[in-house]
Amino acid sequence: MIAWVGPSDAAFGAVAELFDDYRAHYGQQRAYGATRQWLQEQSDTAGMRIGAAFAAGRPCGLLTVLVMPASLTLGTFWMIRDLYVAPEHRGHGHARALLAETVSAARTHGARRVALQTEADNTAALALYTALGFAPVDGYTSLNLAL
């Protein structure tokens, strides 16, 4: 089952725990309280939406997305920021279901496109994304300024 979860939902705390696991997976120190607060702030002020996959009533995967302005077309696009499935739940279609729900919701809300990015060596993610129809964007370069 896939559901959109916000700070007022009963499952929000468990989703925040899973997000803390995701952070730890990428080498960040666990900080459940700070993680929960950050997710709540992002949901409240930045418009972040959090999708969660559930197995046996507990979140086992999550996806975060930001709705961004598509200024030239006077519309919006959805930018997927995070996608994580707990290791013991991988290979059961949770990531695919989260992505499919996000694309469906974006269409329902009239978004112009859904975008995401991943590391060039993340072959599993790239295989999933291309299987679902995502394609590299030619003519653009991603730049970053560390602060």
Q: Which domain holds residue 65?
A: 2-131
pLDDT score, position 137: 87
Does some domain include residue 136? no
Tens digit of each residue's pLDDT (9 = 90 or more) over 64-75:
999 999 999 999
Does some domain include residue 103? yes
pLDDT score, position 141: 80
Residue 92: pLDDT band (50, 70, 90) is very high
Q: Is the pLDDT of residue 39 over 90?
A: yes
Does some domain include residue 141? no
Does some domain include residue 25? yes
pLDDT score, position 120: 86
pTM over 0.85: yes
Compute the mean pLDDT over every residue in the chain, rounded to the nearest whole number.
Answer: 94
- What are the structure tokens assigned to 130, written together? 């291309």
Average pLDDT over residues 105-121: 93
Starting at the edge strand that comes first in sequence, how are the strands of the sheet with 49-55 ordered?
2-5, 49-55, 58-70, 75-85, 114-115
Residue 110 C-alpha from the chain's centroid = 19
Q: Count how many domains the chain has.
A: 1
Q: What is the CATH number of the domain that holds 122?
A: 3.40.630.30
Residue 146: pLDDT band (50, 70, 90) is confident
